[in-house]
Amino acid sequence: MQKCYLALGCFWKPEEKFKSQKGIIDTEVGYAGGYKSKVTYEEVCQGNTGHAEIVRLSFDEKIITYEKILELFFKMHDPTQKDMQFPDVGTQYRSEIFYDNDEQKKIAIKVKDNFNKVYNNKIETNISPIKNYCKAEEYHQRYIEKNRR
């Protein structure tokens, strides 16, 4: 089992979309990429911690590859928007792939380059090593599932 960490705007919808994919074993929403090891939603929303809202995926690479997950990532949001996913604006809503090892970095660069050709070199997605990941508060976990009416 592998893990990956993806920022693509508000974490609620991507978590919902990814958890339905075959091979995704578990999802968790959280924050990563900032300056502190522990943060709260309120701190992240102020926009000065450097964290992005992310979805952490645990997946079975025999069923779904990291490359396939990244292809889905680029199709699930607008990677040409910088520091936002309309209507959410702020650095915490940026598009970013956080890699866990050199192989993930290599694949992320390859997939981004392929999509950059499609988007006429307008991709704003960052590729960075994972740092300062912390799980979001419990009320954010599976938010859409918990709040269906």
Question: Please, which residues bridge with residue 130 across strands?
Answer: none
Residue 75 belongs to domain with CATH number: 3.30.1060.10
Domain contains 146: no
Domain contains 147: no
Domain range for 77: 2-141
* Residues 133, 113: Cα–Cα separation, whole Å: 26
Per-residue pLDDT at 143: 63
Look at the chain and report how many structural domains it folds into.
1
Domain contains 103: yes
Burial class (CB in 10 A: 0-12, 13-18, 19+), 86: exposed
Q: What is the pLDDT of residues 96-147, one digit of tens each?
A: 999 999 999 999 999 999 999 999 999 999 999 999 999 988 777 776 676 7
Residue the block writes with tokens 């269906």: 148
Q: Which comes out higher in pLDDT, residue 1 or 148?
A: 1
Q: What is the pTM assigned to this prediction?
A: 0.93
Catalytic residues: 10
Instruction: Classify each residue of 94-130 as buried b or exposed e, where b means 16 or more C-beta atoms within 10 Å of its C-beta.
Output: bbbbbbeeeebbebbeebbeebbeeeeeebebbebeb
